[in-house]
Amino acid sequence: MFALRFERSRQDLFGMLERLYGHRPDYADFVDALTTTLKDNWRRRPEDLKWLDLQRDLEPDWFQRSDQVGYVFYIDRFNGDLQGILEPDKLAHLADLGVTYVHLMPCLKPRDGHNDGGYSVQDYREINPLYGTMDDLEHVASVLRERGISLCIDLVLNHTAKEHEWAVRARAGEQPYTDYYWIYDDDGLPNQYEETLVEIFPDQAPGNFTRYDDFGPDGDQTKWVWTTFNEHQWDLNWANPWVFLEIVDVALFLANKGASVLRLDAVAFMWKRLGTRCQSEPEVHMILHAFRAATRIAAAGVIHLEEAIVSPEEMIPYLGAGEHTAKEGNLAYHNSLMVQFWSALAAQNAQLMTHVLGTHFPPAIPNATYATYLRCHDDIGWAITDSDAAAVGLSGLAHRRFLADYYTGAFAGSPARGSLFQVNPRTGDARSNGSTASLAGLEAALEVQRTERRQYAINRAVDRILLGHALIASYGGIPLLYMGDEIAMLNDYDQLTDPATAGDGRWIQRPFMDWDRVEAARDRAGAGDEESVAARVLTGVTHILRRRKAVPEFHGDYATDVLHPPDERVFAFARPAPAATVVCLFNMSSDHLVIDGRWLREHGVSDFHDLLSDRAVALHDDELRLLPYSRIWLR
């Protein structure tokens, strides 16, 4: 099997590596070492995982099917530690939601103190001791696997913590580790790079380099280190093939512990080129192409989720484009879908959403699909270009400002509650934080004094939450539910005063799971009163996910054709599958609308049965009525 898989991917692996590293005198040694690493890890791969490899070789579209549902959480915030995941009621909750994919937020051993929510990794081969041990992870992976759930874990490729052994040895001046990072004797080159780099955390970690005065064996040398994110996160030097080798070895080690989706963190930053933003350089795609080939050889059941929060045009190549088609990421976050959802909701207009999603994204992507989501642990960057805004008659700057204002609630009439993040006075850029429910208006609704008004506002918020979930469940890709969203958890403001989290505003959308609320929601399912908001959302989300599984047209391989509905408050797309087409409609406004029956028939609708509610829809005067924030799937 190893030999066959090696031959299958030989060209993908070495074709790329030779172009990246072939000029180096140590290239032949590197190739030998890499081949040995692949073989050794294959030899160590447990039998049941080899079966999984075989199964996935035979069903290579498993992750594109409509039965996939993802769930994302921090281990401690879910239920204490790794063992806590396996409590029967916790597993039952995942099963009720139909979860087939679980992303454990960073779980490898981070540095002590601030660690960027675990993204500052000190040791890739150990588990965060607060969560348990590597044996626990292996056990959790195998229990989940038995239940048909794939385990996704983070693999941070762009940087390690400065306390990682490689960094500690580099700091002491030890070869070859000094070549594992970007280390400079003076600030000459750093300053030249800075001219074109952007700042990721302008507030909390300005600049992209950090000066240290304690380098070398005697701790008395001054050096500048590339630190794109926080000071404690040192960028790895991927121009060095031995870094590639180390990370492949780590990836396969984790794959052999049972991780079958690797979330490759911050991949856009992996290659540096003077005079550029040092994001999404062509070499990044070559590395990721080769990396995919490496895991495909020694752990064929593993797929890669690429985290590249970049502009639409820049994002698609992470799923494989040009020579990398079908060879790079199996999954990539659909950041634009998320941004456009919140933008359309605020504007009560889907024109920009239709333009961006219809123009910049190919209808279908071979051998890959999106990870769709409404919220995650990170902020929302209002990545809307001036030219896209202009295409629909908006000013980019004004619209981005509007969104940032709207989602703090400052904009008059906004029902949202959130906060600003990394306001950059120089560029006018501001990002937003907040949980799905708070951004969708639930927090504000619960504060309304007058009963009928409160009830009305709550209903609207619930509708907006379910609208979003119906969108990510049908658009194409694995919908990733963010823990707590299924019970409409609000912003957690305690995080802003807790010294451990106060420094980073993103923690307000990372609450601790409220299991009492889950239990109450289950008890109250079916009740319609105010106290049952969580029940309504839980029932609604669960229903949406069940219905998704019943619609094979939502397979990731089928196109998503963005349509131009006659009413620009509606976002719509068709999913043409061989046997039938499904047309999905989303009213992004609080208005009652109608859609012409003829327009629907022209786009292939013949059966006026809503696949989502599983009920017939009646046309009145040949018009389909759309209630505020309604969502309908028609075959």
Q: Structure tokens of 611?
A: 């696949």
> Which residue has the CB atom at the shortest distance from ligand GLC?
119
What are the helix and strand counts (H, E) for the chain? 22, 26
Q: Residue 176 Cβ, how far from ligand GLC at the closest point, in Å?
A: 24
To the nearest 10 degrees (0 to 180), the angle between helices 241-256 and 27-44 is 0
Catalytic annotation on 174?
no
Q: Residue 101 Cβ, how far from ligand GLC at the closest point, in Å?
A: 17
Tell me the C-alpha distance between 434 and 419, whole Å: 7
The contact pattern for ligand GLC, residues 301-320, with x = CB under 6 A and - = no contact, is ------x-------------
- Told to check if 117 binds ligand GLC by CB under 6 A, we report yes
Which lies closer to ligand GLC via its Cβ, residue 138 or residue 235? 235
Which lies closer to ligand GLC via its Cβ, residue 392 or residue 496? 496
- Told to check if 611 binds ligand GLC by CB under 6 A, we report no
Torsion sign, CA atoms 290, 292, 293, 298:
positive
Q: Residue 51 Cβ, how far from ligand GLC at the closest point, in Å?
A: 32
Q: Residue 443 Cβ, how far from ligand GLC at the closest point, in Å?
A: 23
Which lies closer to ligand GLC via its Cβ, residue 103 or residue 257? 103
Q: Residue 375 Cβ, how far from ligand GLC at the closest point, in Å?
A: 12
- Binding segment toward ligand GLC, per CB under 6 A, in 11-19, 66-74, 116-124, 277-285: 116-124
Other beta carbons within 10 Å of 154: 24
CA dihedral 603, 605, 611, 616 (to 10 degrees): 140
Residues in region 227-256 near ligand GLC by CB under 6 A: 229
Tell me the C-alpha distance between 13 and 236, whole Å: 20
Nearest to 260 by CA among 308, 307, 296, 289: 296
Which lies closer to ligand GLC via its Cβ, residue 110 or residue 320? 110
User: Is 132 buried (19+), middle (13-18) or exposed (0-12) by CB count in 10 A?
Assistant: buried
Which lies closer to ligand GLC via its Cβ, residue 349 or residue 501? 501
- Told to check if 483 binds ligand GLC by CB under 6 A, we report no
How many Cα atoms occupy the beta-carbon half-sphere of 396 within 13 Å? 14
- Binding segment toward ligand GLC, per CB under 6 A, in 111-119, 238-246, 410-418, 617-625: 111-119
Hey, is 564 helix, strand or coil?
A: coil
Q: Residue 97 Cβ, how far from ligand GLC at the closest point, in Å?
A: 23
Which lies closer to ligand GLC via its Cβ, residue 151 or residue 634? 151
Contacts 24+ apart (CB under 8 A), 413-419: 414/346, 415/440, 415/441, 415/444, 415/445, 415/457, 415/460, 415/461, 416/346, 416/440, 416/441, 416/444, 417/441, 417/443, 417/444, 417/490, 417/491, 418/491, 418/508, 419/491, 419/505, 419/508
- Binding segment toward ligand GLC, per CB under 6 A, in 10-18, 115-123, 272-280, 605-613: 115-123
Q: Is the peptide bond before 499 cis (omega within 30 degrees of 0)?
A: no
- Told to check if 118 binds ligand GLC by CB under 6 A, we report no
Tell me the C-alpha distance between 6 and 12, whole Å: 10
Which lies closer to ligand GLC via its Cβ, residue 289 or residue 377? 377
Which lies closer to ligand GLC via its Cβ, residue 232 or residue 536? 232
- Told to check if 519 binds ligand GLC by CB under 6 A, we report no
Which lies closer to ligand GLC via its Cβ, residue 53 or residue 307? 307
Tell me the C-alpha distance between 615 and 452, whole Å: 29
- Told to check if 119 binds ligand GLC by CB under 6 A, we report yes
- Told to check if 265 binds ligand GLC by CB under 6 A, we report yes
CA dihedral 83, 89, 91, 96 (to 10 degrees): -160
- Told to check if 156 binds ligand GLC by CB under 6 A, we report yes
- List the catalytic residue out of 307, 328, 485, 610: 307
Catalytic annotation on 530?
no
- Told to check if 492 binds ligand GLC by CB under 6 A, we report no
Tell me the C-alpha distance between 599 and 626, whole Å: 14
- Told to check if 161 binds ligand GLC by CB under 6 A, we report no
How many binding residues for ligand GLC (CB under 6 A)?
10
Q: Structure tokens of 509?
A: 């959308």
Hey, is 123 helix, strand or coil?
A: strand
Q: Residue 158 Cβ, how far from ligand GLC at the closest point, in Å?
A: 7
Other beta carbons within 10 Å of 387: 8
- Told to check if 116 binds ligand GLC by CB under 6 A, we report yes
- List the catalytic residue out of 265, 485, 486, 567: 265
Residues in region 123-152 near ligand GLC by CB under 6 A: none
Q: Which of 31, 250, 266, 316 touches ligand GLC by CB under 6 A?
A: 266
Question: Which amino acid, one-letter code, is at 477?
Answer: G
- Binding segment toward ligand GLC, per CB under 6 A, in 113-121, 345-353, 437-445, 575-583: 113-121
The contact pattern for ligand GLC, residues 365-384, with x = CB under 6 A and - = no contact, is ------------xx------
Provide the terminal-to-terminal Cα distance of the chain, rounded to the nearest Å: 43
Binding site for ligand GLC (CB under 6 A): 116-117, 119, 156, 229, 265-266, 307, 377-378
Catalytic (active-site) positions: 265, 307
